[in-house]
Amino acid sequence: MRIPAHSVSTAIRDDIVSGVFARGSRLTEEVLARRYGVSRVPVREALRTLESEGFVVTRRHAGACVAEPTDLEAADLLEARTLLEPLGAARAAQRRTEAHLKVLRGLVRLGRDRALRGETEDLRPLGGWFHETLAQASGSPGLIALLGQLRHKIAWMYVVERPARPADSWAERGAIVDAVARGDADRARALAAHHAERAAAAHRLRPGPPRPRAGGPVRGSQHSVNTAGTRN
């Protein structure tokens, strides 16, 4: 069975974002193929994809390495998200389906309930699913892809402080869903812009880890790529 390159891309990207591969560290095809239990062909394709996304750079005499974004590049990404998320909300107000609304409302109910109970452990992934679903509701493949890349990169570069009043954040998301449900694109855009600006203020740049020695061991155990849904 040939493992698709996009599955390998996802695995490497996740390991970069989580810090398994430190910024600036080398990414050799042989080591990656062994780590994920695949051949070098999908690894090579995956590295090209990740280079186009900005997670990987190719250096002379070193080959593929994890990128080392500057503070300015990180700030630009955060600003880009504050511009694109409101656009996605406006498009969602025009193109959402009832299925999108059902999921969005369910996530808001869960988020509000967990916030009021003080059960904050699940709030971050719930928020991520909310914004991913809102982007999907925009019906714009290009915008969905851009927002997905931004979320991954921002998670890689930033630490997010927990809001002092998490219920307020979920109330804001609920108001966005109400505007989307009414088809009020202008209102959805304005509310999403306000929410994105408040969220951006809670982001703090993540300090870069010390660069490992060349050829040094990679943190984390070897694991295979998730092949669910792949074809023979």
- Beta-carbon contacts of 135 under 8 Å, excluding residues fewer than 6 positions away, are 85, 88, 92, 143, 144, 147, 148
Distance between CA atoms of residues 125 and 138, nearest Å: 20
Interatomic CA distance for residues 76 and 190, integer angstroms = 21
Q: Which pTM was predicted?
A: 0.79
Give dist(CA 170, CA 160) in Å, integer: 16
Q: In the chain, what are the domain boundaries?
A: 5-66, 71-205
- Report yes or no: 40 and 77 within 8 Å, Cβ to Cβ: no
CATH for 71-205 is 1.20.120.530
Label residue 223 left, alpha or beta by phi (over 0 means left) and psi (-120 to 50 means alpha): beta
Total Cβ atoms within 10 A of residue 221: 7
**How buried is 207 (Cβ within 10 angstroms: 0-12 exposed, 13-18 middle, 19+ buried)?**
exposed
Which class for 223: exposed (0-12), middle (13-18), buried (19 or more C-beta within 10 A)?
Answer: exposed
pLDDT tens track for 155-170: 899 988 887 788 999 9
Confidence (pLDDT) at 232: 39
Residues near 2 by Cβ (< 8 Å), separated by ≥ 6?
A: 42, 230
CATH fold label, 5-66: Arc Repressor Mutant, subunit A (1.10.10)
Residues 6+ apart with CB under 8 A from 219: 19, 20
pLDDT by residue for the chain (232 residues), tens digit each? 456 778 999 999 999 998 899 999 999 999 999 999 999 999 999 999 999 999 999 988 889 999 998 999 999 999 999 999 999 999 999 999 999 999 999 999 999 999 999 888 889 899 999 999 999 999 999 999 999 999 999 989 998 888 778 899 999 999 999 999 999 999 999 999 999 999 998 898 887 655 444 444 444 444 555 544 444 3
